[in-house]
Every structure is written in structure tokens, then in C-alpha cells.
Amino acid sequence: MNTMSLSTTPPDIHFSDDCTQAMPFRFRGEGALPCTFLAGNTAAECWHMGTDYAFTTLHVQENDDLVSDTRAAYAELLRQVRSSAHPFLIRIWNYFGDINLGDEDAERYRQFCVGRAQAVDAEFNNPPPAATAIGAARRDGLHVIALSAKRPAIALENPRQTPAWQYPRQYGKVSPGFSRGALLDAGSPHPLLLASGTASIVGHASVHVGDVAEQCRESLRNLRALLDEGEKHGGEPFTFGQCRALRVYIRDPQHLHAVRTVFEASGLPPENIVYLHGEVCRRELAVELEGVFATDMVMKAD
């Protein structure tokens, strides 16, 4: 016989306003990441980590060769993580300046992808972690923040989009090495979904070029599809209302009002959204989002 019980066990990663004993993501003040705060939630994201997860942070000063600098950063990342108690990389954030500088294969984002590919191995790519790469407002080196775990996460892809690691040659000599999202603690009462950088891309093509508001709506449609994939793999529904933290990167700060208008009508908790000045890896795209979604107390069948 199936009976219903209410689980109140907190997830191994949770959020609060207290960063005293947490890994903070700050976008203002001392120690802030290199993305200028525009609007929204003024508090730091405070990630409280249980024993199953850990953060690794690296900051590499550039030496005018982003390929070699990225290769060195990722080689060091793998060295630190693989020998630790949390050897599985599940989510990575990358920030560096002038991400779109250069033409064709000389573009800095494409150089970053080449350097990352030269450093990583088959284990990293089977499949690659969820990730975001954003052009920072200042050029002070490559910032890499990685979340790793004792156990692998479930890598998620968006059925509306070509996996980034399968992009055709037109996007560079090396395809971007990331999955669309990561599902943590699948099968538990409190799964956590980490959405990678999500933009106005259908298949592998950028869409709604020149229309900022529609790019926002397309990005939200992609986010909704990713949450649906999380439910398929984890057994629990994810909704926009369950968003714990959402970052919206805006290429041109003059578009802030148009972007906020769309997102504040989306059903995402406005108090959990932060708007940042950041360049998207494709120069024709105006907006990119990423987020964290967590179920609360959930009725489970025994």
C-alpha cells in the first residue's frame, strides 16, 4: 500500500540572507564579480553548502593569450577538483572581459572554448557540466567558479535547442563545452535544478535579432522547456515560482526597462532577480539568463 508522508529534510544546498558561513555571489562592493549591478535584488546570493558539495574559485590574470590562459585555468581546476572529496564538476561560471572582441575564430569567446577544450578530458565531456560564460564589464582576467560534488549530477539538455557541444563549425573550431542545466538530488524530496546560461536560441540559431523583448520571451520559453526536462528526470515539477535566484545579463544597460518589463510579468519572483551588465557570448544576442530552482516540502509516496 502506498502512503503519503511529508518530508521536511532540507536540501544539501540552500539559500538565505546570511552569508557568514556561505559561499556568496556578490555583484556589488568588495570582492564582487566583474559584472556591474543594474537593478533588482541587492543582496548577495548566499549558497549554504552541505557536505556533498564544494566550490572552487580561480582568478587567472591574462597574458595576451586567452587560449593558453584558459587552458592553464582549467588544468588547475581539474587538478584541484579531481583530487578532492568532491571530484564531479556539475556547474561552472566563467567571466572575462571583451568576450566578443575579434572576428571569426579570433573572437575571444571562441579562443576561450579552444583553451577549455585543450585542458579537459573525456570524463569532463561525458557530458560536460552546466556552465555560463559572460563578458565582464571590466577586463581583469579570467574568473572561474565551479561547483563540484561527491556524486554526479544529471546533465540536462533542452529539446528546443541543439546541445551546445554539438554546434556546427560555423560557431567555432571547438564547440562550447557545456550542458543546458544540471539536476541535483534527483529522486529526493528536494531536487535542485541549476539552469545554465539561457538565451534566445532555437536549434542552434539566434532568433529575434534586434527585438530585445522577444529575445527575453524566447529565453523564458527555453527556461520553461528546461524545467520540464528536470521534472522528467527528477520526478518533481519545477515552476517559475520556485526560483531561488535568477541572474539576467543585459548587453546594453539602456535595455534594462524593456527587459524588466518582460521578466516581472513572467511569474518569476521579482525579489529573487538581479539584473547585471554583461555581454552575451553571441554578439547578436541582447540578454542571457541563468537560475536556480528548488522544490520546497513535497508530498512523496512511500
Q: How far apart are CA 129 and CA 259, in angstroms?
A: 28
- 264 is an active site residue: no
Q: Is 129 exposed, middle or buried (0-12, 13-18, 19+ CB in 10 A)?
A: buried
* Residue in 144, 149, 128, 129 with CA at minimum distance from that of residue 12: 149
Q: Residues 271, 187, 218, 291: what is their CA dihedral angle, to the nearest 10 degrees? A: 40
Distance in angstroms between the alpha carbons of the first and the last residue of the chain: 8
Q: How far apart are CA 267 and CA 288, in angstroms?
A: 17
Burial 262-283 (b: 16+ CB within 10 A, else e): bbeebebeeebbbbbbbbbbbe
Q: How far apart are CA 205 and CA 99, in angstroms?
A: 19
CA distances from 249 to 217, 253, 278 (A): 14, 9, 5
Instruction: Quote the cell numbers at residue 9.
Output: 529534510
User: What are the residues whose beta carbons fall under 8 Å from the beta carbon of 205, sequence distance 6 or more?
Assistant: none
> Reduced to 3 states, what is the DSSP secondary structure of residue 55?
strand
Q: How far apart are CA 163 and CA 182, in angstroms?
A: 13
Q: Which one is catalytic: 45, 236, 279, 288? A: 288
Residues with active-site annotation: 288
